[in-house]
Amino acid sequence: MIKKSFGIIGKPLSHSLSPTLHNYWFKKYKIFADYSLLEIELSEIGEIIKKIRCSELQGINVTVPYKQAVIPFLDLILDDAKETLSVNTVSLNEKGQVVGHNTDVYGLEYGFVNKLNSLNSEQDKILILGAGGVSLSVIYALFKRGTKKISISNRTLKKAEDIRKKFPFVEVINWENLETNINSMDVIINATSLGLKNGDDFKQEFKDIKPSAIYYDIIYNPENTAMIKKLKERGIKTFNGLEMFIYQGQESFSIWNKIIPELDEELKKIIFKKLR
């Protein structure tokens, strides 16, 4: 039997628990396969896609900073990937086409938006920090939920303005003005890579954040980013991206293997252990 190969492309990748997740499921469902970290440069994306085309690789996940950069190499993008122009999962279809999917939106809907529904009204103001691929998924998941007031702020203003062209209902806030605008926000979502294990962190303090605000970090490793720790100390309700990560992985696995894998207790235990 030939061993199947899967992996995740991105840079940096040392924080990623995708191999833990998928290798656990391969073992559980007796699939002869391996999932590895493929830390690559932008110039190497084409080579990786070629490997999928010739079945040397059976599928990949895509993470920061390549969720949009991967698209020109694909033959087809589907559903939520088409709506967001952000791809986090790639597969080969029965016609031999390399297909881009977005399972982040599904992950966000099940891992975060469901929680928001019980905590928060659709009229509340939501601020998204960051304008990369995952921000597009966040906006789309919130838009599907019916959220009316979405603002976005990004270090590079142009990328936030480009997002506004696709989603005109989004308000853009200058990165330099974040501290003075934070007090009007009910939900703040970190969709930047700030706070990622071994990476840079926020310079902002968010001193004037509303006591009733909810802070959601797409990052899951570390389990508590420096910002989450700071806000928790001030009594702010916080969530990390662990559930979103697991749900997006579940959907990717099901695209590649046609099995919806179970989120069992053993898997949760293994993941928590890795994060501590």
115, two tokens: 């929680």
Q: In what order do the strands lie in the sheet with 171-174?
A: 171-174, 149-154, 125-129, 187-190, 214-217, 237-239
Cβ-closest residue to ligand ATR?
132
Answer yes or no whether residue 145 interacts with ligand ATR by CB under 6 A.
no
Query: Given the rule CB under 6 A, which of 66-74, 119-127, 247-255, 256-264 is the region that contacts ligand ATR?
Result: 66-74
Q: Which of 20, 23, 36, 68 binds ligand ATR (CB under 6 A)?
A: 68
Query: Given the rule CB under 6 A, which of 22-30, 60-68, 165-173, 208-216 is the region that contacts ligand ATR?
Result: 60-68
Answer yes or no whether residue 192 interacts with ligand ATR by CB under 6 A.
yes
Q: Which of 11, 51, 82, 159 binds ligand ATR (CB under 6 A)?
A: 159
159 vs 237 by CB, closer to ligand ATR? 159
Question: CA 189, CA 244: separation in Å to the nearest integer?
Answer: 13
Q: How far is the CB of 143 from ligand ATR (least distance, A)?
A: 18
Question: CA 211, CA 121: separation in Å to the nearest integer?
Answer: 16
Answer yes or no whether residue 154 interacts with ligand ATR by CB under 6 A.
yes
46-50: long-range contacts (C-beta < 8 A, 24 or more apart)? Answer: 46/73, 48/9, 49/73, 49/74, 49/90, 49/98
Query: Given the rule CB under 6 A, which of 20-28, 35-43, 63-71, 120-128 is the region that contacts ligand ATR?
Result: 63-71
Q: Look at the chain and count its residues.
A: 276
The three-point CA angle 58-140-77 to 5° equals 30
69 vs 255 by CB, closer to ligand ATR? 69
Answer yes or no whether residue 131 interacts with ligand ATR by CB under 6 A.
yes
134 vs 173 by CB, closer to ligand ATR? 134
Query: Given the rule CB under 6 A, which of 100-108, 111-119, 153-161, 212-220 is the region that contacts ligand ATR?
Result: 153-161
Question: CA 245, CA 29: separation in Å to the nearest integer?
Answer: 20
Question: CA 245, CA 243: separation in Å to the nearest integer?
Answer: 5
236, two tokens: 């702010």
List Cα–Cα distances, 266 to 12, 21, 270, 271, 273, in angstroms.
27, 11, 6, 9, 11
Answer yes or no whether residue 64 interacts with ligand ATR by CB under 6 A.
yes
Q: Which of 52, 92, 134, 236 binds ligand ATR (CB under 6 A)?
A: 134
Positions that interact with ligand ATR (CB under 6 A): 64-68, 130-134, 154-156, 159, 192-194, 200
